[in-house]
């Protein structure tokens, strides 16, 4: 047997194993009609006829004895029935398997509010693009509140902030410098307490801001207390006071304040990802995009 003969036989076998040809063959065998088979498959009759001719060429002979009134299986066609059915069944099992392996399900995702207007939309867009069957139950809150809900089994994944080096579960994705922010027109009066716009306790950035002021021997006052980032932005933009924020998460309508105002360095904050159990399925899928988006960005 020459190499060309082997190649030709292989090509014939490939055509014979084509599930599309086998589906057309089975439809004709069951309906005893090319027209009815085409209707069942949702294709034109010429397509079915072409499929049968290709399969007969691969099988080396006629599969149907047909005239103007009847279509009957030949002995070769009878032998083909079992093979064609096995090929179609295998193809459908494979399709069901890999559709089932596609990531699907619901993930309860907690996000510190700082991320909600910045990084979060892009993370969710990437998730939807790659895993359209994953549903997200989104919770936006203070980091410590989210960590408590995670520990209590009410969340699957949390993206939040933590004091640098503080013990705790999860993975540190990035360490980010904190900065003082406020309105570009913010004025601080020497000798007067520093007006703070604050989240309520527990708040990581509030704690770090107060500690930095107290280490520097500066007095402060709670000029505004708000439980939402929207409220914090409004108060700071109106000039009610200043606050501490992760530099990469500074809202567009606020500005990093210059060192000349005499405010102390508030240090850094860790951006962390926590999961209740070993991440898998939809939780692992979302964690992958969070890690890629929030991880160290020195090269970006």
CATH number for the domain harbouring residue 253: 3.40.190.290
Which pLDDT does position 296 carry in this prediction?
54
- Which of 71, 101, 131 is the C-terminal boundary of a domain? 101
In the chain, DSSP finds a helix count (H) and a strand count (E) of 11, 11
Residue 123 lies in a domain: yes
The residue range of the domain holding 65 is: 3-101
State the pLDDT confidence band at 109, using cuts at 50, 70 and 90: very high
Which pLDDT does position 193 carry in this prediction?
93
How many domains does the chain divide into?
2
State the pLDDT confidence band at 90, using cuts at 50, 70 and 90: confident
Choose among 103, 97, 59, 66: nearest CA to 81. Answer: 59
Which pLDDT does position 7 carry in this prediction?
36
The DSSP symbol for 17 reads T
Q: Are 219 and 151 within one domain?
A: yes
Please state, in angstroms and rounded to a whole number, the distance separating the CA atoms of residues 250 and 233: 10
CATH number for the domain harbouring residue 63: 1.10.10.10
pLDDT in tens, 200-211: 887 888 899 999
Low-confidence winner among 100-104, 229-233, 252-256 (lowest mean pLDDT): 100-104
Mean pLDDT of 242-270: 88
Classified as helix, coil or strand, 159 is strand
**pLDDT(245) > 60:** yes
Choose among 39, 28, 36, 40: nearest CA to 66. Answer: 28
Q: Are 167 and 242 within one domain?
A: yes
Q: Are 71 and 201 within one domain?
A: no
Residue 50 lies in a domain: yes
Residue 23 lies in a domain: yes
Which pLDDT does position 5 carry in this prediction?
40
Residue 226 lies in a domain: yes
Residue 300 lies in a domain: no
Q: Are 121 and 182 within one domain?
A: yes
Preceding omega of 202 cis (within 30 degrees of 0): yes
Q: Are 184 and 279 within one domain?
A: yes
Q: Are 76 and 125 within one domain?
A: no
Residue 114 lies in a domain: yes
- Which of 82, 101, 120 is the C-terminal boundary of a domain? 101
**pLDDT(54) > 50:** yes
Residue 299 lies in a domain: no
To the nearest whole percent, how much of the chain has pLDDT over 90? Answer: 38
**pLDDT(72) > 90:** yes
- What's the whole-model pTM score? 0.62
Please state, in angstroms and rounded to a whole number, the distance separating the CA atoms of residues 102 and 105: 10
- Which of 101, 127, 161 is the C-terminal boundary of a domain? 101
Which pLDDT does position 99 carry in this prediction?
58
CA atoms within 13 A on the CB side of 278: 0
Q: Are 67 and 115 within one domain?
A: no
Choose among 111, 156, 106, 110: nearest CA to 135. Answer: 106
**pLDDT(212) > 90:** yes
Question: What is the signed CA dihedral for 54, 56, 57, 61, rounded to 10 degrees?
Answer: -170
Which pLDDT does position 4 carry in this prediction?
35
> At 100, which helix (H) or strand (E)?
helix 75-101
**pLDDT(10) > 70:** no
Long-range contacts, stretch 78-86, CB < 8 angstroms, 24+ apart: 80/25, 80/55, 81/26, 81/29, 83/16, 83/22, 84/22, 84/25, 84/26, 84/29, 85/22, 85/26
Q: Are 91 and 119 within one domain?
A: no
pLDDT in tens, 134-159: 999 999 988 888 999 998 999 999 99
Q: Which two tokens stand for residue 254?
A: 């606020």
Q: Are 92 and 213 within one domain?
A: no
Q: Are 111 and 95 within one domain?
A: no
Residue 152 lies in a domain: yes
**E strand segments, 132-263:** 134-141, 157-162, 171-182, 194-198, 220-225, 243-246, 255-256
Q: Are 110 and 91 within one domain?
A: no
Q: Are 28 and 128 within one domain?
A: no
Angle at 300 between CA 251 and CA 287, to 5 degrees: 75
């Amino acid at each position: 047997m020459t190499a060309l003969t082997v190649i030709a036989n292989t090509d014939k076998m490939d055509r014979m194993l084509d599930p599309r040809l086998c589906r057309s063959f089975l439809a004709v065998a069951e309906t005893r009609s090319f027209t009815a088979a085409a209707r069942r498959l949702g294709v034109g009759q010429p397509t079915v006829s072409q499929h049968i001719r290709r399969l007969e060429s691969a099988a080396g002979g006629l599969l149907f004895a047909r005239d103007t009134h009847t279509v009957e299986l030949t002995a070769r066609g009878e032998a083909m029935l079992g093979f064609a059915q096995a090929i179609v069944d295998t193809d459908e099992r494979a399709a069901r398997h890999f559709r089932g392996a596609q990531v699907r399900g619901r993930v309860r995702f907690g996000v510190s509010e700082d991320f909600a207007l910045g990084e979060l939309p892009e993370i969710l867009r990437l998730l939807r693009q790659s895993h359209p069957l994953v549903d997200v139950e989104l919770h936006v809150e203070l980091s410590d509140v989210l960590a408590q809900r995670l520990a209590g089994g009410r969340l699957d994944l949390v993206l939040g902030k933590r004091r640098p080096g503080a013990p705790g579960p999860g993975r540190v994705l990035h360490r980010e410098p904190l900065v003082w922010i406020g309105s570009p027109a913010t004025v601080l009066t020497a000798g007067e307490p520093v007006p703070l716009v604050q989240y309520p306790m527990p708040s990581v950035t509030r704690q770090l801001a107060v500690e930095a002021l107290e280490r520097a021997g500066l007095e402060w006052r709670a000029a505004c207390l708000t439980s939402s980032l929207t409220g914090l932005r409004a108060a700071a933009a109106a000039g009610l006071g200043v606050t501490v924020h992760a530099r990469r998460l500074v809202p567009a309508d606020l500005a990093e304040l210059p060192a000349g105002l005499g405010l102390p360095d508030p240090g850094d904050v860790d951006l962390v990802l926590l999961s209740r159990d070993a991440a898998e399925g939809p939780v692992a899928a979302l964690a992958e995009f969070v890690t890629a988006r929030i991880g160290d960005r020195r090269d970006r």
